[in-house]
A and B are shown apart, each in its own frame.
Chain A
Amino acid sequence: MRRKSTCAVFFCGLALASSGLVWAGEEPEGSQLEGTARLGSHVSAVQDLLGRVREYDQGREELQPDLMLELFGYSGWSRMAFEVDYDDEDVLQLGADVEVGKYVDAEFAHRSFIHHLDHDRLGNLNWREYVGTGDQGQDLPGGKMVTHDDTDPYGKYSVRYSDTRQSVEVAIPHLPGTTLKGSYRDQVRSGTRQTTGVDHCSNCHVRSHGAIVEEQTRDVGFLLATVRDRVAVSYEFGARDFANKAEPTRNHFQQARHPVNGGSAEEFASRLNYDNATLVVSDAPDVEKRTHTVRASVDLPKSQTARGAFSYSKTTNLDANLELTANSAALGWAAPLNEKARVTASFSRRQLENDPVDIDMKNWREGRAGGGQDFDYTRESVYDRVEMTGTAKLRYALRPGHTLGLEYRFRSIDRDNLELDPDDPTETQTVQNRIRGTWNGRLSAGMRSRAAVEYEMTSLPFVNVDGICEDGIGDTIDPMEGQPNNWIYYFQRERYGTGAAAPNKALRLEANLSRNLGPKASGNVYLNAASEKNDDLNLFDFERTTYTAGLSAYLVPNEKVVFAGGGSIGKTSSSAVFCATVMDG
């Protein structure tokens, strides 16, 4: 069924092409067909693990075919290109581009490959509380522990990805400048992966499973575009459907009780929403997305151009019936100021709105002394936002071969449901200003250089307000009613540190020098560097320094020898804060 729909657009286009459209003009004479064919075999010898050294290769140790066929040709108005590259039944590439007459262009492309995935052995999840030393000098273990088990210890995980695209574009014969395009894309991921279920409290008992992957993403697109005089207008519709067809993985969540003596079952169970139950874990929902986009551009007097676009999309989680709507609009303008200077300006606005999610939980320790707290809440999405971006660019030709550029960019992200300032919960807007200068010049015959420098300032970048590090509680809070006076619960603890990995100041540099020594030698060197910092945090200054440098060269010593080579080095250093809560066990 899927194969039929996959081919539908492609062959529909061919049928349309051959159904008697009216050709204009005189058809060229002659035809030609040429190409290349390869027939061979390949084999691998694998030692130790394959998954990392050849992450996208099967590594088969039996002979496999090595087949390739490329054909291209023309006849009259019609042209054709065809490609097959076959490694094995999972690693395959196909392509076809057929222009039937002057009015129909049909394209087909397919590729598939294997991606090996890692298997976390969970071996680091072994820990048990130490509560003292026994009579014989041995360690005495406590009740708090971290354990794991792997239900699929020999599992080797991989996913086969296939991507099939087809499109047919038809130029409407009686409407010059008007085209109609239909497209279809089918992506399939199938195989196995690792998934985990976590028991009791975070990381206490982790159980790994092998999970089935069977996902399909289908896109259908429709585009109608027309150009009349100085105006171009188009409408595009896109439909995307994601289907998760895999049998869900289930994890058994153990009965809540004391991990050593098996007691206190009621107390432990009163703190959990479920226990002693087998439930689906790590399941992806079916999702659909529908998008409508209108674009227009117009050529104005004095070589000016203006363009605009508006897009509306709605994405629906079909399992939970939750919707995300997005509206975006963009405007742009470009104009020459004089023979040496040209300016461009653009502005865009995007608004995202998600349905809120009601989180309904059992009351905390219902029926227990000091318990009964209701932690139900409505989860508002931090993805709800209004984004605005404005840019202005000036490009100036200093003299032949030398160009200067100056660019200013303003960006604002106002998130509806995220605090960014620990001192002011009403502050939800990130504002970023960036200025960038570029230079592109011909230093001498055969030598060119490019350089760019930019400085960026961000007010209230994305941070995790009061998300890390706890103050000592000591005797500053009252115990819960009926609880021992030295017991505290997680929800009574408060964090005070603001964490971040986003800078509020950034300086970035790029430089490139290329030298061409005629047809026999050339070389290129480059250096990129960035220094980023956030000094507006209460615990530490976040700093990140990045540089990459490299060179490449091409040498032809004589007509029988060609060399190419190069190298690169990159280094990133960033700071982070470590916080571990210290208690009596």
Chain B
Amino acid sequence: MGAYEHFGSASDVFDNDTEIATVYLTGQFQIDAHWSLDVNGSFTNSKAKFDPIEVSVPEETVVKADYDFSGINEYSDLEFKQLEVGGTLNKMLSEKASAYLGVTYFGLTDDAPYVYGDVSGSVLYTRAGFQVRL
């Protein structure tokens, strides 16, 4: 028989939690006979996390291999905040023609970067032009 330094599995039962919360609001305003404004906004906060893993490792293993599981739960934490705010201003030029100008801000904040690195970013999107009913 051999003397195998294989001590079985260190084991723990833990919880994995995910949460997502969203609020949104849109509004349409007819300012006068020629001008109108559409606005919209939304905010989303999403999180995922593990409970700390608490395992006991046989003492004899520490001599040759320094097992440390204390940081495992933090490694896969995720937390994103997403914001979208925008509006479009419309001007009626005639009964059938109108002009529009829209601006929207998109922002994402990565509060717990994962294997892809910090993926935070933002975009300011602007559009303008004319619309005609044929």
Contacts and interface: CB of A to CB of B under 8 A. Distances in A.
A580 B10 contact: yes
A379 B19 CA distance: 40
B55 A580 contact: yes
Contact of B13 (A49, A129, A577): A577
A120 B13 contact: no
A245 interface: no
A46 interface: yes
B77 interface: no
B96 to A, nearest CB: 9
A12 interface: no
Contact of B133 (A36, A487, A585): A36
Task: Decide if the interface of chain A is mainly helix, strand, loop or mixed.
Answer: strand
Nearest to B117: A121
B127 A42 contact: yes
A39 B93 CA distance: 14
Contact of B123 (A57, A476, A478, A571): A57
Task: Decide if the interface of chain B is mainly helix, strand, loop or mixed.
Answer: strand
A189 to B, nearest CB: 21
A577 B134 contact: no
A284 interface: no
Contacts of B7: 472, 582-583
Nearest to A550: B22
B53 interface: yes
A131 interface: yes
B65 A485 contact: no
Contact of A580 (B9, B17, B116): B9
Interface in B84-134: 100, 106-108, 110, 115-134
Contacts of A231: none
Contact of B26 (A124, A470, A563, A584): A563
Interface residues of A, number: 85
A355 to B, nearest CB: 36
B130 A39 contact: yes
B80 to A, nearest CB: 8
Contact of B15 (A38, A472, A539, A575): A575
A359 interface: no
A265 interface: no
Nearest to B108: A53
B5 A567 contact: no
Given A475-B1, A485-B2, A565-B24, A540 B66 contact: no
Interface of B: 1-31, 53, 55, 57-58, 61, 63-67, 69, 72, 75, 80, 82, 100, 106-108, 110, 115-134
14 contacts: A43-B125, A53-B120, A54-B106, A469-B9, A469-B11, A470-B9, A473-B4, A485-B2, A485-B3, A540-B13, A572-B17, A580-B10, A582-B10, A585-B65
